[in-house]
Structure 1
């Protein structure tokens, strides 16, 4: 899996970047090739060892077809999260670190839903904002549309997912209440 100069890539938890160059760096007595990656979100530069790119989670953006699948998944119901915020934060942090945009979308859906009922902790609020940015920026890139066009589609999908989850939760509570009589 080699990337080329000028290619767009996704750096886990930071989003879209562009490979600006592939350069040799001396580390101790060894000379190793590195990708020089400019992150779109911060305009900062990250060096990723070519040999470790896969372990780091550097990947190509999803395809346009996968982008449509991601929007569809965003509108689907989701599993109820752990109620303890520490367990939830740990689980969500692991999903964010994978770099898998579908896992990031699960975090986005769940935190969006939870934020409708109670204020999120500062850390969860930051994670929600980061997940939202990662999903919107990657969709914007793969759909070749401005982020403002993607935001509306993401918001509609999230609203659908939250409504489905709320209906399922209400039905489950009603079934539980009826079983108790």
Structure 2
């Protein structure tokens, strides 16, 4: 067994898995897959009621990472205050880019999606797909803010919304 990945993530650590956001490592198990013994991170995504098994040797290349630093959380929240940057491309193209940013697992990219898709009450309606992407990005951002700052999700959501509302003022 390689010891390199062992030290990077431990049971009870919160990690960010690009396609699913923040999860918690429940255990590190060995499993036999196609005749090979593989060491796996068992990751629980409680809110989604989902458990994922990730081979320890592939965690980094998949893009699994530790939680962001408090400093990076502050920078991401600062990004929310910026002016929305919406390209003049067709929606299907932009939607694809937003989706890639959300699933990149990169906190700053996720914050950019939240900033660009956020609507104040007085602005035009969002389409269904816009709303879905916005909520997915907001959820990822909120969960990471909650995990890093030790808040429950409700409190984290409130602090993110306060930042978004301060932009409008």
TM-score (norm 2): 0.85
- Whether the aligned pair in 2 keeps the contact of 1:15 and 1:40 (CA below 8 Å) is no
State which of 91, 108, 127 in structure 1 corresponds to 2:114. Answer: 108
**For 2:55, which of 39, 45, 49 is the aligned residue?**
49
Equivalent pairs counted in the alignment come to 163
Measured after TM superposition, the shift of residue 95 of structure 1 is 0.6
2:148 counterpart of 1:142: yes
C-alpha distance in 2, partners of 1:114/1:121? 14
Which whole-Å deviations, capped at 9, do the CAs of 1:47-102 have from their partners, x for residues lacking one? Answer: 11111111222111111222222211211224223442101111111111210011
**Runs of 5+ consecutive residues of structure 2 not aligned to the other structure:** none
Task: Choose the corresponding residue for 2:43, options 30, 37, 51.
Answer: 37
Match of 1:17 among 15, 23, 45: 23
TM-score, length-normalised on structure 1? 0.80
Runs of 4 or more above 6 Å deviation? none
Work out whether residues 24 and 32 of structure 1, in 8 Å CA contact, stay in contact via their aligned partners in 2. yes
Larger Rg: 1
